[in-house]
Amino acid sequence: MILRSARVLGLGTIGMALLATSMPALAQDNDETRIRKLEAEVRALQRKVFPGGDGRYFEPEITGQPAAAPTTAAPSTTAVTDILARLDALESQLQRLTAQYEVGTNAIRLLEERIEKIERSNAQGVSAPSMETSSAPSSSVPTASPAPAAARPDPARVSAVQAIAKPQTGDAGDDEYSYGFRLWDAGFFPEAQQQLTMFVEKYPSHARTSYGRNLLGRAYLDDGKPSEAAPWFLKNYQADKNGARAGDSLLYLAESMIALKDTKRACIALSEFGETYPALASGRLQSDYATARSKVKCS
C-alpha cells in the first residue's frame, strides 16, 4: 500500500517537470471555462494554418470495431490530477507560442509573395521594380534579390504532402483522424501534428478521440519532441483510463520521460502501466513494455 501511494505521488510530479517546456495546452476536466478558452485559441490557430485536403481514400490505423466514446466519470483524485491543475502557466505558454507561430507564418507568406512577384517579373523580361524616376542617387536605389533557397518550401515535400489521400466516408471525424494517421505514417510529422490537433479539438467525444490524442503524442515523440509529446500522452490517460489507447499513452509517457532522461518518472509511469494494464503488459504491448523497461534501471 505504501509503495502504491509512492508511485501515485511520484506520477503526479511528472507534470511539474513538463510545465517548464514548450508544449500543447493541457485541459482540466473540472475547469470547463478555462478548457473552452484553450480550445477556442487552438482552433483559431488551426484554422489559420491547416490547409485541408482532397477527397481520396486511404485506410485508417484501426480496421476493427471503433472504441466506444469516453464515458463520464468522477474526477480522478490521484496525484496525476495535480498535473492537469496547473493551467495558468500553460495558458501563458500557449499565448507566446501562438504569437511566435503567427509571426513566423506571416513572415513566410510575405516572403513567398515577394518571390512570386520577382519570378513573374523575370518571366516577362522585366527587371525588378526600381526608382528610376526618383531624384535619389543611383547608389541609393533599392534592388530586389531572390530569397535564400532555404527559406522556400521544399517543392518535393509540398507535392508529397498534397499526394496524401483524405477519405470521404460520411464520418467527418473518422476522416479527419484517418488523414492525420496517414500523414504520420508517411513521416510528415509537423503536418500530422496540425491535423491531429484539429481533430481532437473539433471532435472531443468521437470514438477515435483516444486514438487521436495518443497518435498526436506519437507525432511529437517521433519528431524528436518528447516534452511536447508527454502532455498529450498524460492527457489521454487521465481523460479516460478505459479509453482505447489510454494504456498505450501511459507507456509512451514513460518513453517520453526516458527520452528526457528522467529515469525516476519513467519508472513511475512504467510501474503504473504494469499495475493498471496487466493484460496489455503481457499481450499487445508486451514487446514495447519490455523494451522500455530495458532502457532504465528501476528500483
Number of other residues whose CB lies within 10 A of the CB of residue 251: 25
92: confidence class by pLDDT, cuts 50, 70, 90 = low
Sign of CA dihedral 219, 225, 230, 235: negative
CA dist list (Å): 159 to 149, 153, 162, 260: 17, 10, 5, 34
What pLDDT is recorded for position 108? 73
120: confidence class by pLDDT, cuts 50, 70, 90 = confident
What pLDDT is recorded for position 207? 96
138 CB contacts (<8 Å, ≥6 apart)? Answer: none
30-35 average pLDDT score? 61
Residue 296 pLDDT greater than 50, yes or no: yes
Measuring CA to CA, which residue among 13, 19, 14 is closest to residue 249? 14
DSSP letter (8 states) at residue 67: P
Measuring CA to CA, which residue among 173, 178, 230, 171 is closest to residue 204? 173
The percent of the chain in helix, strand and coil, each rounded to the nearest 5, is: 65, 0, 35
Cell of 188: 510528415
Residue 181 pLDDT greater than 80, yes or no: yes
Question: Grid coordinates 508544449 are at which residue?
Answer: 23
Residue 16 pLDDT greater than 80, yes or no: no
Sign of CA dihedral 73, 70, 192, 225: positive
219 CB contacts (<8 Å, ≥6 apart)? Answer: 180, 184, 189, 192, 193, 196, 229
How far is Cα 270 from Cα 288, in angstroms, rounded to an integer? 11
What pLDDT is recorded for position 115? 73
125-139 average pLDDT score? 42
pLDDT above 70 as % of the chain: 53
219-241 average pLDDT score? 96
CA dist list (Å): 243 to 43, 72, 208, 238: 23, 12, 10, 10
